[in-house]
Amino acid sequence: MTRVSEQPQDSAGRPQPNRSDEGRDSPPRRTGRQLVAASVGNGVEWYDWFAYSFLATYIADEIFPKSAGSSLVPLLSTFAVFAVGFFMRPVGGLLLGSVADRAGRRAALTLTILLMGGSSLLVAVTPTYASAGVLAPVVLVAARLLQGLSVGGEFAASTTFLVESAGPGRRGLFSSFQYVSTTAGQLVASGVAALLVSTLSNGQMHQWGWRVPFLFGALLSLAGFWVRRGAQETRSEQQAGAPRPGLFDALRLHPRESLLIVGITAGGTIAYYVWTAYLPTYAEVNAGLDKSDALVSGTISLVFFMLLQPLGGMLSDRIGRKPLLLAFAIGFAALCVPLLHAVGDSFASLLLVQCVGMVLLTGYTSIAAAVNAEVFPARVRATGIGFPYSLAVALFGGTAPYVGTLFEDLEMPDAFPWYVAALCLLSALVYLRLPERSGEELER
């Protein structure tokens, strides 16, 4: 006779993980080491990625020709390259996500960190337009395409790796380390940029100072590769021995889930990139804030944001994912316009706006990895997350700096906050219909 056991439930009737099934097909995981392996590599990846955003104005001056008609053209060109890198992310999510599902999460993680290190080095040695002409932007585009491929694969592999490494009732907490490490990478990039701007002359920054962070990023990538090689595989032996999924199996077999990932991500990604990457530039362009003050404000707000992430993750493990998601989306839809209008030419106004937005944003960022991982089965989880998530980020997050700068160039700066609010409202409608899975067991 086959024994059938009933899955335990909490006081609200939600299914709870069956602890006896956890890790049945794999040895016990050293969770601390797993967190370090995911976090260090992810932090390095995002340090490289955001260093470009923080130094965009210097890169524009050196890589792109000046426009006689508008001083915004070089900046627009640089942010267009920023967006081009984002459009390689779905390709990376699909290809490297497939590596994670077919060869294992650790194999994909080590590959992504090597790709990012190579692209960072390529940015560092990009010639100027004055010395190489059209070759300069061509080299920069190639580097950004490689970075986009790497980052798309990074989210797919590290999201899956983190959430699968979590014990019962801790997926929200482990999920939060996705953005703890992402923000740590941003924080180091912002801090390095602020240090260089404050210690070097404007001429030195334009001549060679902007290259230093990318050389440093290439060295950090080697350290991240070494750490990740010692990580433990999270894919169960049962999944490893199963037939390997095809490249498009996640899209073909789970179209509804793929669309759901896009809806979950749309509002969160534009709010995230506006508040953490573009807001300093927005304050410079729209309010005339000093460049150094904008970078310092961004650094302080990133520290605050990073500290909030584990609190949001732990809260979601207690009350569920939906309350946090709805608080983020509705809060941003209602407050985005007044917050962006409140950005003035003072350091204090920018810092206040950034910190208020960071509190709301935590409702999405702290649990995005868990929410995404809970949508797909283990067999196609990395590819299933990687492609639609990266596509949404490319469409809405990667284009945010370009759209914001374009609205300013068209003398329509007030339209941009409404654009952000509308996308957050769209995601709020998706969250309302999203099943609550925080108490369910995650398939390994």
Q: Convert the pLDDT of each residue in 17-35 to its tens digit.
A: 444 344 444 444 567 777 8
Q: Residue 350 above 70 pLDDT?
A: yes
Which residue blocks in 30-134 are alpha helix, DSSP H?
31-54, 56-63, 72-87, 89-103, 105-124, 129-132
Interatomic CA distance for residues 227 and 217, integer angstroms: 15
Give pLDDT, residue 344. 78
Which residue blocks in 320-399 are alpha helix, DSSP H?
322-341, 347-365, 368-373, 381-392
Helix (H) or strand (E) run with residue 334 in it:
helix 322-341
Bridge partners, residue 15, by sequence:
9
Give pLDDT, residue 236. 55
Q: Lowest-confidence range among 122-131, 276-285, 387-396?
A: 276-285
* Distances from the Cα of 152 to the Cα of 52, 114, 116, 222, 281, angstroms: 16, 14, 11, 19, 24
Q: Please choose, from the candidates 44, 38, 178, the residue with its C-alpha nearest in 3D space to the C-alpha of residue 117.
A: 44
Q: Contact at 8 Å (CB) between 113 and 92?
A: no
Q: What is the mean pLDDT of residues 97-117?
A: 88
Count CB-CB contacts under 10 A for residue 412: 10
Q: Contact at 8 Å (CB) between 107 and 8?
A: no
Phi then psi for residue 31, to 5 deg, are -60, -35
Give pLDDT, residue 54. 76
Residues 6+ apart with CB under 8 A from 333: 267, 421, 422, 424, 425, 428
Of all residues in the chain, the percent with pLDDT exceeding 70 is 87
Q: Please choose, from the candidates 87, 97, 385, the residue with its C-alpha nearest in 3D space to the C-alpha of residue 247.
A: 97
**Interior CA angle at 381 toward 444 and 270, to 5°?**
130
Distance of CA 197 to the CA centre of its chain: 25
CA 363, 402, 180, 350: dihedral to nearest 10 degrees? -70
Q: Which two tokens stand for residue 36?
A: 């370090």
Domains of the chain (ranges; CATH) run 29-227+251-432 (1.20.1250.20)
Residues 6+ apart with CB under 8 A from 240: 104, 233
Q: Residue 213 above 90 pLDDT?
A: yes
Interatomic CA distance for residues 57 and 290, integer angstroms: 13
Count CB-CB contacts under 10 A for residue 381: 30
Interatomic CA distance for residues 43 and 49, integer angstroms: 10
Q: Contact at 8 Å (CB) between 324 and 173?
A: no
Q: Residue 332 above 90 pLDDT?
A: yes
**1 pLDDT tier (thresholds 50, 70, 90):** very low
pLDDT digits (tens, 9 = 90+) for 119-166: 999 999 998 888 887 788 888 888 888 888 888 888 888 888 888 888
Q: Which is higher by pLDDT, 94 or 83?
A: 94
Q: Contact at 8 Å (CB) between 387 and 94?
A: yes
Q: Residue 308 above 90 pLDDT?
A: yes
